[in-house]
Amino acid sequence: MKRSLVRVAILGATGAVGQRFVQLLSGHPWFRITVLAASERSTGKSYAEACNWVLETPMPDEVKEMLVVPAEPGFDADVIFSALPADLAREIEPKFAEAGYPVFSNASAFRYEPDVPLVITEINPDHMKLIEVQRRNRGWKGFIVTNANCSTTHLTLALKPLHDPFGLDPVFVSTMQAVSGAGYPGVPSIDILGNVIPYIGKEEWKLETEPLKILGTLVGDKVENAHFAISAHANRVPVKDGHTEAVSVRLRRKPSLEELKEALREFRGEPQEMGLPSAPTRPVIVREEPDRPQPRFDLMAENGMATVVGRVRECSILDYKFVLLGHNTIRGAAGGSILNAEWAFTKGLL
Ligand SMILES: NC(=O)c1ccc[n+]([C@@H]2O[C@H](COP(=O)([O-])OP(=O)(O)OC[C@H]3O[C@@H](n4cnc5c(N)ncnc54)[C@H](OP(=O)(O)O)[C@@H]3O)[C@@H](O)[C@H]2O)c1
């Protein structure tokens, strides 16, 4: 297999997630950015001119002079990464799929459609089989694969190692989500500094819905959702990057505390077996200190691709409770999408 020169386009390249794509794809061993697309505001400008770069590493030299183009098919690209707002994704992504492009989307627009895979690569890569169903149903030459909402991704990475051996029911989660989760410029500073906002539109519904599809079982042409109840509270807090989540779980078979931690620590999936370039060595990290994880110290564990769990302890209402932390624009968005595309490339789907 020739593992070079897969040409990739980024839709929404100037936004919070688009910039992460640019950062993570710069120097990628298999993928090379050939197209950067955004709104009318940006098109015709160089990427350096159009983009207010807010990441901690410098804008890669190779994209600075690239001209930003409209998000319309006809690209010199083999794969599309989409970081479009959901309403636009609903309209624009099918045009690319119809025109024959594989689209890896961060938007919620198609996540809940029965023939669209909603994939966390370590958990349910088998759901990629829905691509065939989607092509058959819609007559597309290309396809759309979605990754989960940012807080859902980290919650589900921590639930998977528990659900398989012990069986979850129910799950309670309360999130403390970073401002970058709202895109750029996102939440106005005057609204969030020194404050907590106990509402993020549709987030609680996503947290209560998406894990059930991801942990569901592919039966024939359909995913049968996992059956357990999830109750979610979503809060916005004045943290730049990294979503923290306080989770309580009841298990159908209650393990010992050590067994539970061992299940989390030992969790691995296909990306680790296949040695995919963006795969974390350990998708779930368990910390033993009483005051970790913290965004300031643990956000970049495994290059931002791991879910860091800590404070695993008995719960006086359910069985166990713990805190988790994950990077919202890396594992929770661009990095998760790239890992899905690496898996698909290795399987000959691109
Ligand atoms: N932020 C996160 O942590 C996160 C995590 C997971 C998933 N997501 C999802 O990822 C998607 C992108 O989120 P974001 O946070 O990156 O948003 P964002 O910072 O607001 O960026 C939106 C991007 O879309 C572009 N855009 C807007 N209108 C367009 C149009 N008509 N045609 C083409 N491009 C257009 C913008 O370009 P201009 O700069 O030219 O306006 C910008 O590049 C959303 O669906 C979001 O829900 C975000």
Query: In this structure, are residues 306 and 234 in contact, taking their beta carbons and an 8 Å threshold?
Result: no
Q: How close is the Cα of 84 to the center of ligand 1, in Å?
A: 4
Ligand 1 atom, smallest distance to 13 CA: 43
Residue 76 located in a structural domain = yes
64 CB neighbour count, 10 Å cutoff: 14
Same domain, 166 and 295: yes
Mean pLDDT of the chain: 97
Distance of alpha carbon 330 from its chain centroid, rounded? 7
Burial class (CB in 10 A: 0-12, 13-18, 19+), 195: exposed
Same domain, 203 and 304: yes
Same domain, 38 and 97: yes
Same domain, 120 and 220: no
Q: Can you give the CATH number for the domain in which 173 is found?
A: 3.30.360.10
Q: What angle do CA 28, 30, 35 make, to 5 degrees?
A: 75
Residue 1 located in a structural domain = no
Q: What angle do CA 343, 118, 134 make, to 5 degrees?
A: 90
Same domain, 162 and 93: no
Query: Confidence class of residue 5 from pLDDT cuts 50, 70 and 90?
Result: confident
Find all residues with CB under 8 Å of 16, minimum gap 6, and list them.
54, 83, 180, 183, 184, 186, 329
Closest CA to 101 of 349, 277, 347: 349
Give percent of the chain above pLDDT 70: 99
Query: In this structure, are residues 51 and 67 in contact, taking their beta carbons and an 8 Å threshold?
Result: no
Closest Cα to atom 32 of ligand 1 = 39
pLDDT digits (tens, 9 = 90+) for 294-321: 999 999 999 999 999 999 999 999 999 9
pTM over cut 0.85: yes
pLDDT digits (tens, 9 = 90+) for 99-114: 999 999 999 999 999 9
In what side-by-side order are the strands of the sheet with 320-326? 230-236, 168-177, 243-251, 320-326, 307-314, 284-286
How many alpha carbons lie under 13 Å from residue 264 in its C-beta half-sphere? 29
Mean pLDDT in residue range 75-92: 98
Task: Tell me, using a 6 A CB cutoff, whether residue 12 lines ligand 1.
Answer: yes
Same domain, 145 and 159: no
Residue type, 6: V
**What total number of domains does the chain contain?**
2
Task: Tell me, using a 6 A CB cutoff, whether residue 152 lines ligand 1.
Answer: no
Task: Tell me, using a 6 A CB cutoff, whether residue 333 lines ligand 1.
Answer: yes
For 45, the domain range is 6-149+334-346
Q: How close is the Cα of 229 to the center of ligand 1, in Å?
A: 31
Mean pLDDT in residue range 323-328: 98
pLDDT of residue 4: 65
Per-residue DSSP letters for 232-272? Answer: EEEEE-S-SS-EEEEEEEEESSPPPHHHHHHHHHH---HHH
Closest CA to 242 of 282, 310, 194, 299: 299
CA-to-CA distance for 344 and 341, rounded, in angstroms? 5
Query: In this structure, are residues 175 and 204 in contact, taking their beta carbons and an 8 Å threshold?
Result: no
Same domain, 125 and 273: no
